Chain A
């Protein structure tokens, strides 16, 4: 049943890092997340995708079958397969740019989304832009492979504005990390 175990990977990272650091400091906690965040995309979901390269319509989720690549201000833009929030592209920002005056979160949750143009899966980091009131434009809530709080790196309800000067949520971006 278990195809991959993101928790074990995350926990190993945590333990290795914790062994070398003061466990109490926010900097170490944040540093840990910064170290761990780029590794999550490379490990768990990419393994899962590698194990099932089937890209036929029958193997795609409803979102992936209907996704488009032309308009990143729409909820069905392919990178938004697991986004929850308001799109920064509708708020004066870009697909990987925060609107002026807001600050990107250094950590994020991730999605593994299929680009319909080339049929390949890519890792997408959903980084929140923080420090301003909620933008309110283009609210989306897509849930491909989105899990619950005990697996936070794949949970899209968490406000990821950790380590920013304010935890106020403004909008979400969808940064390309690379091929899954």
Chain B
């Protein structure tokens, strides 16, 4: 038996075993069985899509109600996942090389059928930033017709992809800016190193780029790149390293609301950038989650000094954005670096840690509902209300 034959035999055996396990009903009749393949429901508001940690492939889908895995999307290493608003497809912006770790580089958006999770097509693109861990690099517009994919090579630009015709349209150069916010009817907006918010108004084959006045210091107190965006309200929620929260109204001319301190919202002293100023600071890779129906922001917080933006969390703070008050604080026993929340009434939180374990937490009580070992240590995606 050649190596290829051995592999094939192994795969066949594995698929037979997998098919047996995947059978919906255990029927111990002794009769010969057929290998079958499951199909998926359309993306559900109660699902978490959990990335398998740095350098690993696959996004596991967990049901927040049961804590059980229901499937996996083949998100390649350091790829970005987008969910079709109509629930028909998953989009994976990814990069592969023809010989694995070398050879010809290929960038693409891979399109998967949401029901079968089978590859429908690949849309070649001229490049993308290989980074992982960011949910603002690849965004789908509210109407599901366009994708914006951030590129850095190492000059920054945004690739526009037509998801209806399934083809790359063009690249828009955007020096000094990154992280994409959909801006319906206009184009998109991005955070910039000069402390402004840039808005790219796309007009056919041209575009006009305008910027707000500077509203944050990108070097001294940066805004976390994994900010949140509410598509219904057209509002972005920003959080800085010191814990300043601001809400931006996104449109042709975005406006930025006055920032407020998360510590002050909790009845504590405002945090500073100075060393030896021990306070509560936000920290993590996916540092915050917005429950859009209740306008409540959940933030991973730790006690320490400034310049600790990736520190593992000790608590989750719930911030009511309307009253600008911290309404709840939940301790996290084993730390966490990524947080997300389902957008349904159940409002279940998931936190993943650097040991690839996940916890599903009831946001109303702080109770841990499920602990999922090896769920994945990467960032988490949920279905967004449109």
Contact = CB atoms under 8 A, between A and B. Distances in A.
Bind each other: yes
B88 interface: no
B96 to A, nearest CB: 11
B218 A151 contact: yes
Nearest to A14: B175
A8 B220 contact: no
B133 A157 contact: yes
Interface in A49-105: 57-63, 65
B194 interface: yes
Interface string B81-94: 00000000000000
A19 interface: no
B191 interface: yes
A150 B154 contact: no
Given A6-B219, A134-B55, A150-B179, 9 more contacts: A7-B194, A10-B193, A62-B305, A65-B275, A151-B193, A152-B152, A152-B178, A154-B219, A165-B102
Interface in A1-22: 1-8, 10-11, 14
A32 interface: yes
Interface of A: 1-8, 10-11, 14, 23, 26, 29-30, 32-33, 44, 48, 57-63, 65, 107, 131-134, 141, 143-152, 154, 157-160, 162, 165-168
Interface of B: 55, 78, 95, 97, 101-102, 105, 129-131, 133-134, 152-156, 173, 175-179, 190-195, 214, 217-220, 222-225, 275-276, 304-310
B309 A33 contact: no
B305 to A, nearest CB: 5
Nearest to B55: A134
A148 B133 CA distance: 12
B224 A148 contact: yes
Nearest to B285: A157
Pairs A-B, 9 closest by C-beta atoms? A7-B193, A149-B178, A150-B178, A148-B225, A147-B222, A151-B193, A7-B176, A166-B102, A168-B101
B177 to A, nearest CB: 6
A3 B218 CA distance: 10
B307 A150 contact: no
Contacts of A61: 275, 305-307
A137 to B, nearest CB: 14
